[in-house]
Amino acid sequence: MIGVLATFALREALRRRVFAVVAVLSVGFLALYALGVWQAFDIADDFGGGFRGIDAQVVTGATMFGLSMFGTLFLGAVLGVFLTLGVVRGDAERGLLQPVLARPVSRDALLGARLLAAGAVCGGYTLALYCAAMAITGAIGGWWPDRPFSTGLSLALAVIVLSAISLAGSVVMSAAANGIAVFMTFGAGLTAGLLGQIGRALNSDTLTRVSDVTTWLLPFEALYQSALADLTAETVGFTRFALQLGPLGGAREGGPLLYVWAIAYVAVVMVAAAAAFRRRDV
Amino acid sequence: MAALQTTDLRKAYGATEALKGVSLEVGEGELVGLLGPNGAGKSTLVKIACGLVRPTSGTATVAGAPAGTAAAGRALGYLAELFRFPEWCTADELLALHQRLAGSGGGAAERARLLDLVGLPGEAARPVGTMSKGMQQRLGLAQAMVGSPKLLLLDEPTSALDPAGRHAVRALLEQLRADGVAVLLNSHLLSEVELVCDRVAIIARGAVVAAGTPAELSQAAGVEVDTSSGTRRWEHATREDAPRIVAELVAAGEAVYGVRVLRSSLEDAYLAAVGEAA
């Protein structure tokens, strides 16, 4: 049953207009990114010998690609949230959910199927965008991430975590309220990451601890930080120092435990959502 | 075994009681009309039977299985009052989805037959989003009949249809009854219910206030006779009184041109029942 529902949800995700809009936006994003990368490497070449011990190609490539990863995360999150924000209350209010639930379909299976479909579409989309941006950076500037696989995986997992939060929110909130709540949560995670960056710059243990706890409570942020860290994991010396002054200053390596925690987090969120859904009248 | 049985069904939303102990039975192959004003609890009752709403207390069974279980879900088909289907998919894709969910092995032949039955032949490839409201309601009916359910729960199934469409649905309901399918028809159209239903239950303020066959619910309303001195009416007379009345008129020298035994309509019975409940 979960396969039937997931396949239908997958087809819905791919055939809805929002997917076409996201595809067009993605092409625009990649075109602008390619222009930016070309300009950045062009300027970096002029400064190439100006800073002793700093590899301008690495700094430019990692900085540009780090910025593109934020764009990728954001677009992936937008798609994930739009596909999931109205799955329960939204669809029930529109009358779409009742004909399906009147069938011998368990509510747990419905939620599981919707997460599978959203995860496949958003995770796949995020990886595709990530790979395209990586190829653009490599082709124009000759720079590639140090750990391309784990970087992409973290980014895709971050989007899946956000989709799970949005799906759970759809059980208790209307679509509009859920959308606002999820994007505020997304913003809270990013703010926590910024706080950590400030805390480390000021050497403030309190700020750093608050940031660490918050980012693990909202693991999409911890995954994003881990993805940023994996970009230049093998980079050392002054080049690394220069990188940490830029957008990669918020990078924090998560390690394998972060993946385990993120998967467990999604499972806990879905169990809580299923428990609430079982009690909900539609 | 009853197709649908509810016993002392109650549903409260906070302090508001939507159902106050409703007991109702729909037998196999029986067509039962559910009448009542807006907010009476009709849709809540239907949704409990579908497992969409949990009762506060009481029981509901579909073909012997507790409402909301997989066995109950396999035995019923449901058309909601607020019927909406994904606009991006075609009629055929929608029916195919419901076939898989219902475990129907009817395949393309069943889908084509159902579309034909509801007056949508040749519309299989049409996207739902391009259909009129009436066509979507017909598609909803086809969707409800997927898998040949024992019980159909139809919540205002003709609300978006034109008179011809309503007539076609009435014929379809009669065919379903002939095929042994039980139907609970929730409708505001009293004439429709009166024409097709075996029994009627009237709900008001969450309770059944009247139930019976349409004939039982409509009461004697007197006898009217056209005579040479005009039309005269005996308000409390019944059909059995008619020969005596005619004999007395003839004996009195009146010419009798016509006799009518009057009965109140289902509408009168409905208004009386709902009015008493209010």
Lowest-confidence pick of A3-7, A55-59, A171-175, A186-190: A55-59
Instruction: Lowest mean pLDDT of A16-20, B83-87, B130-134, name the range.
Output: A16-20
User: What integer pLDDT is reported at residue A48 of this predicted model?
Assistant: 58
Nearest-CA distance from A104 to chain B in Å? 4
Does B278 reside within a domain? Answer: no
What residues in B contact A5, CB-CB < 8 Å?
Answer: 101
pLDDT tops 90 at residue A247: no
Q: Collect all residues of chain A within an 8 Å Cβ-Cβ radius of residue B98.
A: 99, 103
The residue of chain B with its CA nearest to that of A106 is: B70
> Looking at this protein, which amino acid is placed at residue A237?
G
Residues from B contacting A (CB-CB < 8 Å) are: 47, 50-54, 69-74, 76-80, 82-86, 88-89, 93, 97-98, 100-103, 140, 143, 153
Of A16, A99, A279, the CB nearest to B143: A99
Instruction: Tell me, yes or no, whether B275 lies in a domain.
Output: no
Q: What is the pLDDT of residue B154?
A: 95
Contact list, B51 vs chain A (CB under 8 Å): 101-102
User: Stretch A122-130: mean pLDDT, rounded?
Assistant: 96
Higher pLDDT, A6 or B261: A6
Question: Do both B180 and B255 map to the same domain?
Answer: no
Shortest CA gap A74–chain B (Å): 26
> Are A99 and B47 an interchain contact pair (Cβ–Cβ within 8 Å)?
no
**Which chain A residue shows the shortest CA-CA distance from B154?**
A99
Pair (B117, B245) in one structural domain:
no
Give the pLDDT band of residue B240 (cuts 50, 70, 90).
confident
User: Strand B256-263 and strand B230-234: pairing?
Assistant: unpaired
B233 assigned to some structural domain: yes
List the single best residue of A16, A98, A279 to mutate versus B (max B Cβ within 10 A): A98
- For the ranges A15-19, A40-44, A134-138, A188-192, the lowest mean pLDDT is seen at A15-19
Mean pLDDT throughout A53-76? 89
Q: Is the pLDDT of residue A75 over 80?
A: yes
Which is more confidently placed, B11 or B266?
A: B11
Q: Given a cut of 60, is residue A253 above it in pLDDT?
A: yes
Q: What are phi and psi of B220, to 5 degrees?
A: -60, 135
* Residue in B51, B74, B80 nearest the CB of A99: B80
Residue B277 confidence (pLDDT):
56
What pLDDT does B95 receive?
Answer: 97
Domain check: are B165 and B238 in the same one?
A: no
Residues B51 and B148 in one domain: yes
CB contact under 8 A, A282 and B103: no
Give tens-digit pLDDT for B13-29: 989 999 999 999 999 99
Do both B30 and B53 map to the same domain? yes
- The answer to whether residue B270 sits within a structural domain is no
Please state the rounded mean pLDDT for residues B245-251: 92
Q: Which of B97, B99, B151, B156 to mutate to test the interface with A (most CBs of A within 10 A)?
A: B97
Residues B199 and B184: beta-carbon distance below 8 Å: no
Q: Bigger pLDDT: B265 or A58? A: A58
Which chain A residue shows the shortest CA-CA distance from B152? Answer: A102
Output the pLDDT for position B238: 82
**A281 and B89: CB-CB below 8 Å?**
no
Task: Judge if B224 and B103 occupy the same domain.
Answer: no
In total, chain B counts a number of residues equal to 278
Residue A50 has what pLDDT?
Answer: 57
Q: Tell me what the mean pLDDT of segment B139-152 comes to.
A: 96
Are B173 and B243 members of one domain? no
| Cα nearest neighbour of B94 on chain A | A8
pLDDT at A167 over 60: yes
Contact B83 A282 (CB under 8 A): no
Asked if the Cβ–Cβ distance from B101 to A4 is below 8 Å, we say: yes
**Which residues of chain A are within 8 Å of residue B89 when distances are taken between CB atoms?**
11-12, 15
Domain that includes residue B71, residue range: 4-215
pLDDT computed for residue B194 by the predictor = 84
The reply to whether B116 and B171 lie within a common domain is yes
Chain A residues bordering chain B (beta-carbon distance below 8 Å): 1, 4-5, 8, 11-12, 15-16, 94-96, 98-106, 279, 281-282
Chain B positions in Cβ-Cβ contact with residue A106 (cut-off 8 Å)? 70
Question: B272 lies in a domain?
Answer: no
Residue B121 clears pLDDT 60, i.e. is over it: yes
Instruction: Tell me the average pLDDT across A195-203.
Output: 86
pLDDT tens column, B178-226: 999 999 999 888 888 888 899 999 999 899 998 998 888 877 778 999 9
Single out the residue in B215, B232, B249 at which a domain terminates. B215
Q: A100: which chain B residues are within 8 Å (Cβ-Cβ)? A: 101
CB contact under 8 A, B47 and A281: yes
Whether B273 maps to a domain, the answer reads no
What is the predicted pLDDT for the residue at A239?
73
Name the CA dihedral angle for A231, A236, A238, A239, rounded to a multiple of 10 degrees. Answer: -30
Say yes or no to pLDDT of A245 above 90: no
Q: What percent of chain A has pLDDT over 70?
A: 96
Per the prediction, chain A carries an average pLDDT of 90
User: What does the pLDDT average to over B56-60?
Assistant: 96
Domain boundary among B215, B236, B254: B215
| Same domain? B15 vs B111 | yes
Residue B204 placed within a domain: yes
Interchain pair A101, B103: CB under 8 A:
no
Residue of A nearest to B146 (CA): A103
A contacts of B85 (beta carbons < 8 Å): 96, 99
Q: Clarify whether residues B20 and B52 are in a common domain.
A: yes
Q: Which of A95, A100, A282 has its CB closest to that of B101?
A: A100
Based on the domain organization, do B238 and B179 belong to the same domain? Answer: no
User: Quick one: B206 and B236 in the same domain?
Assistant: no
Please indicate whether, in this complex, the C-beta atoms of B50 and A101 are within 8 angstroms of each other. Answer: yes
Whether the complex's predicted ipTM is more than 0.90 is answered with no
Cβ of A102 within 8 Å of Cβ of B76? The answer is: yes
Structural domain count of chain B: 2
SS (H, E, C) A204-231: CHHHHHHHHHHHHHCHHHHHHHHHHHHH
- Are residues B187 and B35 in contact, defined by beta-carbon separation less than 8 angstroms? yes
A157-174 average pLDDT score: 97
